[in-house]
Amino acid sequence: MLKTIALDSTRLQRLQQTPLWDFAIALYAKPGVEEACLSLQEEAGLDVCEVLFHCWLYASGLEATPSALAHQREQRRLWQCQVTEVLRGLRRDLKATATSNDSVKALRETIKQAELMAERENLQRWQTWACEAQNHEQRVANIADMPQDVAKWLLNQLLFSQSADPGSGGSNEQNGCFHSLQTLTYQLDPQQGAR
């Protein structure tokens, strides 16, 4: 983690003026981002909502404080496991049948919309957590020095305090994860490609 400095109210106001859902939709629509997010989800086991949350913070020059992040991460993980992943599993299970059965196709589409609503709710909970901290609790802080390599910064944010060992995956998996993070961060900061 990079050293942080006292929270700048201008950065926090900028964050509060950009809803996480709107930010996520805009970022997700950029070239390569959808594929990168799906790769991070499927191959690296990362929570795309958390990835987008850290990107949203970065765009305002902020980062989550490690001590506060651990509990929230667990709450969001539970939501993903108990709600979003259940819906995703149902949607995937119906895929084959939906190709030849119109009523199953309609049901699958309804489940797909519910899955999207679950993701939106999860993002809303991340946003509320970051923006509505009590005065005595600092959940976000300024990034003291903007990182030269945003993909590495993002990887550190995502792997900090996680139970998974970041070195346990094979080098191909790590390279794919890092490539996906580079795709994401290039869309956040196009100057990354020029450095």
How many residues are given for the chain?
Answer: 195
First vs last Cα of the chain: how many Å apart?
A: 21
Q: What was the pLDDT predicted at 4?
A: 47
Biggest distance spanned by C-alpha atoms of the chain: 58
- Where do we find the tokens 């993903």? 80
* Residue 37: domain span: 4-194
Q: What was the pLDDT predicted at 160?
A: 66
Q: What was the pLDDT predicted at 77?
A: 93
Q: Which residues pair with 140 in a beta bridge?
A: 64
**Cα distances (angstroms) measured from residue 11 to each of 17, 60, 100:** 10, 6, 51
Alpha carbon of residue 116 to chain centroid:
14
Q: What was the pLDDT predicted at 48?
A: 94
- Where do we find the tokens 């690296």? 44
Q: What is the mean pLDDT of each run of 10 residues along the chain (195 residues)?
A: 58 88 96 94 91 94 88 93 96 96 97 97 96 78 83 85 45 72 86 47
Q: What was the pLDDT predicted at 177?
A: 87
Where helices occur in 80-193 by DSSP H, the ranges are: 85-93, 95-98, 102-131, 150-159, 171-188
Number of domains within the chain: 1
